[in-house]
Structure 1
Amino acid sequence: MRTSDTAYAKINLALHVRRRREDGYHELETLFAFVDKGDRLTARAAEQDALETVGEFATALDNPFDNIVMQALGALPRPGGLAITLEKNLPVAAGLGGGSADAGAVFRIIEQMHGLPDDWEERAAKLGADVPACVKSFTCVGRGTGTELEPIDSDLAGTPVLLINPRVPLSTGPVFAAWDGEDRGPLPEGDARAVMLAGRNDLEAPAIAQCPVIADVLAALGETNPLLARMSGSGATCFALYHSEDTARDAAARLASSHPDWWQMQGRLR
């Protein structure tokens, strides 16, 4: 028996960094959303856990034994092992929660096969701040380090989205470290669309300082008549939302022609 699931690409429609914490993490408020495409995981029963990685970005994961997929498998009690094939379609260190999304898919696969323990959220949070949200993979607000999840009314499901990455990896730690420490205020109130439009990403400036091409990506997206263009997470991936599928398709074609070296993915918000 084989079970498959998609590790949905995570984007931060807004990301407000409020303060540095004594434990080295940052207090933040974010509006998570998920695209209907991403990595693909296929699992089958096996004598012991195993991982095979294929796909465009497979070579970026140079140590499969240290992969978060294996860590997620080890975090959950279950009978027997699982052999997982990970089709790595999302760039690594890209602000899309790729590893966290992979872990989230593992949790859903195991939920389907064996069920999850009552403390699964705590187990997920130990793997990474974005993992609990990636298990759920629906639009929600994250607080604390991102693990404290709250539902939000969303009228964004189905909105066309274009993801662009300049193929420059950007590690999260240095971007957070370069944040200027200024609290620019909380997430606004309202439904998801209102929060998104009135929100911001406080990591854009420090990310651009380390990876200037992000500004070029944002400028290029801004010229495609989007509803919104913004950087996701700590970068370097940026996204644009569109009013129609035709506009999104035209934008993708235009950027593929003008910047053929940039990675892109089209989809819709879940």
Structure 2
Amino acid sequence: MIPETAYAKINLALHIRKRREDGYHELETLFAFVDDGDRISAAPAAADSLNVHGEFAGRIDDPFDNIVAKALSALPHGQGWAVTLDKRLPVAAGLGGGSADAGAVFRMIERAHGLPGDWHARAAGLGADVPACVLSRPCVGTGTGTDLAEVAENDLAGCPVLLVNPREPVPTGPVFKAWDGIDRGPMPTGSLRHIALAGRNDLEAPAVSICPVIADVLAALRGTGPFLARMSGSGATCFALYDSEAELQTAADKIAASNPGWWQMAGKLR
């Protein structure tokens, strides 16, 4: 068996700069990854197969069209793999769940067979977040998010982080479409902490307009005293960063008590 964690992706900052003629958006984002997420394992088999289970397995309509299956098809990996996916991250949640799963498959194949020289292009062909999710370590994404540069100073490694989702899916396309088109300036440079604190998420307002409960999640997180709370990606998941694990646990307990229906995951930044 080849086990791997599909680390949850968060956008510590996400600056949308302009709409492109091809329908995509020019953006600048700071990717970071939590030390938990979906769980994937694979075993040798006569042919590729995919078995999905877990809390959010029912949200995957067609396992054969799943991005995990597409990632397997995108890379040479021997005779066949029987892949099992424990879907622990919510779908359409701003955590790059499908992209994280694909990234995990790339890392599994890298360990078993190595990756081809054009792995980045193959990953980008599956989705804009997939190359960053293959790396699963802090990096700055530009262009559509596929042009990556690693951050020199990761001063948030090990930082306690709480993820909260109101269990309402938010498709990415409508959120980008609702962006007002105003360029609010470039993402700052510097250490992870500085970029995160000085940055913003330009999709937060359009996401709230589509899914108003996101504002409630942010208010609840900010009420627990983190040094940063922000929406990730196009929502609806929001995250909060804390100075200590004790503060995180207190916050998690408080939110679970006041909003027991919300999904949450606690961990540390990688």
Q: TM-score, normalised by structure 1?
A: 0.99
Give the match for residue 195 of structure 1: 195
Give the match for residue 127 of structure 1: 126
Give the match for residue 75 of structure 2: 76
Give the match for residue 52 of structure 1: 51
Taking the TM superposition and a 5 Å limit, the aligned residue runs for 1:98-137 are 98-137=97-136
Which digits, 9 at most, give the CA deviation of each residue in 1:89-121, with x for residues without a partner? 000000000000000000000011111000000
SS of alignment partner, residue 12 of structure 1: strand
Which digits, 9 at most, give the CA deviation of each residue in 1:240-263, with x for residues without a partner? 000000000000000000000000
Q: Distance in 2 between matches of 1:79 and 1:136?
A: 22
Give the match for residue 214 of structure 1: 214
Give the match for residue 269 of structure 1: 269
Q: Distance in 2 between matches of 1:79 and 1:268?
A: 34
Taking the TM superposition and a 5 Å limit, the aligned residue runs for 1:224-243 are 224-243=224-243
Give the match for residue 65 of structure 2: 66
SS of alignment partner, residue 157 of structure 1: coil
Does residue 184 (structure 1) correspond to residue 184 (structure 2)? The answer is yes
Aligned length: 269
Q: Distance in 1 between matches of 2:180 and 2:202?
A: 9
Give the match for residue 252 of structure 1: 252
Report percent identity of matched pairs.
69
Superposed CA RMSD: 0.5
Per the TM alignment, residue 233 of structure 1 is displaced from its structure 2 partner at its CA by 0.1
Q: TM-score, normalised by structure 2?
A: 0.99
5+ residue gaps, structure 2: none
5+ residue gaps, structure 1: none
Q: Distance in 1 between matches of 2:192 and 2:203?
A: 20
SS of alignment partner, residue 248 of structure 2: helix
More moved, 76-85 vs 239-248:
76-85
Q: Distance in 2 between matches of 1:90 and 1:191?
A: 28
Per the TM alignment, residue 79 of structure 1 is displaced from its structure 2 partner at its CA by 1.9
Instruction: Look up the equivalent residue of 1:263 and give its one-letter code.
Output: W
Per the TM alignment, residue 78 of structure 1 is displaced from its structure 2 partner at its CA by 2.7
